[in-house]
Amino acid sequence: MSAVAARRNLRVTRGRVAIERLEIRFGGQAAVADFSLRVEPGEFVCLLGPSGCGKSTVLNSVAGFIPPSRGQVAVDGAVVTGPGPERGMVFQQHSLFPWKTVRDNVAFGPRMQGRSKAEADALARRYLDLVGLGSSADRYPATLSGGMAQRVGIARALVNHPSVLLMDEPFGALDAQTRAIMQESLLRLWSRIGNTVLFVTHDIDEALFLSDRVVVMSAAPGRVLLDLTVDLPRPRPDDVFADPAFAEHKRQCLKLIRQESRRAFEFADGAGI
Ligand SMILES: Nc1ncnc2c1ncn2[C@@H]1O[C@H](COP(=O)(O)OP(=O)(O)OP(=O)(O)O)[C@@H](O)[C@H]1O
Ligand SMILES: [Mg+2]
């Protein structure tokens, strides 16, 4: 059991992610180069970095949507060669089927896994309850607020019991209040379920509030510049932002991200863009 899981008193044994010297090229250009990262079962890790540094590319590669040009990604010792139910993805813009009800969107995964309609519906109900949307099962995605749609997206990912939950700026399109509520409710879910979370965000406060570790990436091609253990107790109080340790972590991340954003901008400038 990892130290992180022990702290939360959960026996998490699945969800170890090992990214080894990952390189991903699009055409002639490397989006990610020499990117290595190990994540323990049950750990919550955020990826931060300037726009275009390859955060989504790394996540998509762990999801199995993008094959490595070099290096590899393994989950619990098995090399990732394509998507799999043990890795669930939540995107920035929800990707729900507009023609299906909320229930059928969540039941879709279990149905694809061969569950009967009754079983899949029962599972959908359970996970919708978990994200506080049990009473919205018959609604269609177009009638939901942004926060509700993201909750359905989370239920749809969790219903497959993924050992690794991949989240690409899942709260990026939400207003500040909804975002704060979603962060708290995600942490509650995570502490009950105990899966590994790999979470991409632009927001340093969000990263520090949520995670056990914050990984700051360099400008493209993205690699790990800083792997910071967030030394703040859990559950984190509302005023954790005022903690001197939080301020120090934030200063460290901000400095690096500013430096890398400037580098990316100068590069684009030099290329005459
Ligand atoms: N399918 C693709 N085909 C070609 N190039 C791509 C593809 N996906 C990403 N890229 C390029 O790879 C680089 C990294 O993109 P990526 O989307 O991973 O960045 P990011 O860090 O997620 O950025 P943002 O913070 O803006 O979301 C960019 O230069 C992007 O243009
Ligand atoms: Mg992205």
55 Cβ inside 6 Å of ligand 1: yes
State the CB neighbour count (10 A cutoff) for residue 44: 25
Q: What contacts 178, CB < 8 A, 6 or more positions away?
A: 145, 146, 147, 171
Query: How would residue 243 be classed by pLDDT, with cut points 50, 70 and 90?
Result: very high
Q: What angle do CA 9, 148, 46 make, to 5 degrees?
A: 45
CA of 248 to the centre of ligand 2 (A): 26
| Residue pair 250/216 in contact by the 8 Å Cβ criterion | no
Distance 52 CA to ligand 2 centre (A): 7
Please identify every residue whose CB atom is under 5 Å from ligand 2, which is an ion: 56
Q: Which of 47, 53, 166, 168 to mutate to test the pocket of ligand 1 (most atoms within 8 A of CB)?
A: 53
Determine the Cα–Cα distance for residues 72 and 178; give it in Å rounded to an integer. Answer: 36
Q: What is the mean pLDDT of residues 144-154?
A: 93
Provide the percentage of residues in the chain whose pLDDT is more than 70: 94
Average pLDDT, the chain: 92
pLDDT digits (tens, 9 = 90+) for 193-233: 889 999 999 999 999 999 999 999 999 999 999 999 998 99
> Which ligand 1 atom sits closest to the C-alpha of 57?
18
> Is 117 within 8 Å of 111 (Cβ atoms)?
yes
Average pLDDT over residues 18-35: 96
Q: Which CATH architecture best describes the domain 3-86+162-270? A: 3-Layer(aba) Sandwich (3.40)
Nearest CA residue ID for atom 28, ligand 1: 52
The residue whose C-alpha atom lies closest to atom 7 belonging to ligand 1 is 26
Q: Using the predicted structure, report yes or no on whether residue 268 has a pLDDT greater than 80.
A: no
The ligand that comes nearest to the alpha carbon of residue 47 is 1
What is the per-residue pLDDT for 8? 58
For 164-189, how does the pLDDT look when each residue is reduced to its tens digit (9 = 90+)?
999 999 999 899 999 999 999 999 99
